[in-house]
Structure 1
């Protein structure tokens, strides 16, 4: 066999393998985008209280992620290229957000079929997502729920801040944790302000009694404190 024919055959085989790899890669990129879309839709449904829809979107995302991972395991360079890990992170974020909002046990990386770095980054981003639910709870006057969600955010940050490993190993977890810290501190300020305002309102109601929030435009002061009616002072708004 001539050297030329050997080179031609070897080159043709390599090109064929590259073509197959390229086709697999293109399909993986498209599927990864679909997974991210499903995860984002699940998170939006969770925030809106549409839990059945959130579960449906998440289940579909997990099914497709499992199929994608199985298809790419023979191609480690594609499996670890980044777009699969991004999809894993988004699916983990959606699943963890749903569990946190509904006060269920958190799924593990094994439960979700995701890598450890993707799970930790998804955990951090899920904790940041809770800010929206905290604010919704405050607007609804549900301070206990807001405080529960804030505690979850704090617990996640306290755990992640102890992960002191190279970014190449954790997928940039340090940056994600720093972003969570900023969200956590803003949220803590909002909850603290709401709690203080609530205590002030209770104190005012106790002080002013039935006159608090009356429609007359004047504050009725209980007898024995000032002996009458304070005029010209608008009634506090509830």
Structure 2
């Protein structure tokens, strides 16, 4: 019995070449988008970090300008990667979103402002949550600065904000694949929160003892 006829090699090669050409064009476009988005994401992270440092220095205008710079770079990265979700989900874009959200949150929490939501910030929900956790951790530095300035009341308020953020984030209980490792960030916040609570408590106790001593001495 004669064997089955093989494929028409000319037709097969034509189909193969067409498929490879199409795939190559798609991968080239994705690669070009990635090459555009990566430096934009690095700019986001640099500007957001500088914005947070400006918040701690009480340079509100500079902090806002740097946060706006971070946002512009983030939008550039998001636009470049929008047609390529497989690249956008690689991680670096979410990290940039998280850093931008952290900068905005740190400024809002220090100023006592309202937190913008994920849609308002233009970031993924998981990036929003991770940004909040890291912004709450950043409040430790600000609380210590207030303690050094002798403003115990402000430090206690910041500690309360950190506590509220931690309690709210603890209610988010989903796998890391959904939250991009939120649990690890919240665990780190817990450690920062407890150290800050210890510092604020020690200062409060010392202040009460000092007042009691002054009252006893009739000062």
CA deviation digits over 1:23-54, x for unaligned, max 9?
A: 11111111111111111010011111111110
Q: 1:41 aligns with which of 33, 47, 50?
A: 50
Which residue in 2 is equivalent to 1:67?
76
Helix, strand or coil at the partner of 1:14: helix
- Partners in 2 of 1:10 and 1:203 — Cα distance? 83
The CA deviation at 1:208 is 1.4
1:128 equivalenced with 2:137 (yes/no) = yes
- Partners in 2 of 1:17 and 1:111 — Cα distance? 32
The CA deviation at 1:19 is 1.7
CA deviation digits over 1:103-143, x for unaligned, max 9?
A: 11111111110000000011000000000010000000001
- Partners in 2 of 1:198 and 1:10 — Cα distance? 75
CA deviation digits over 1:62-114, x for unaligned, max 9?
A: 12222321221111101211111000000000000000011111111111100
Between 1:172-181 and 1:17-26, the stretch displaced more is: 17-26
- Partners in 2 of 1:154 and 1:49 — Cα distance? 22
Helix, strand or coil at the partner of 1:209: coil
- TM-score between the two structures when normalised by the length of structure 2: 0.92
Between 1:157-166 and 1:147-156, the stretch displaced more is: 157-166
- Partners in 2 of 1:22 and 1:67 — Cα distance? 15
Helix, strand or coil at the partner of 2:217: helix
- Partners in 2 of 1:170 and 1:21 — Cα distance? 25
Higher helix share: 2
Which residue in 2 is equivalent to 1:179?
188
Count of residues in correspondence between the two structures: 210
Which residue in 1 is equivalent to 2:66?
57
Q: 2:102–2:132: 8 Å Cα contact kept in structure 1?
A: yes
Higher relative contact order (CA 8 A, sep 6+): 2
Root mean square deviation of aligned Cα? 1.2
Which residue in 2 is equivalent to 1:205?
214
Which residue in 1 is equivalent to 2:165?
156
In structure 2, stretches of 5+ residues that fail to align are 1-9
Which residue in 2 is equivalent to 1:224?
none
Which residue in 2 is equivalent to 1:138?
147
Which residue in 1 is equivalent to 2:95?
86
Q: Max radius of gyration: which structure?
A: 1
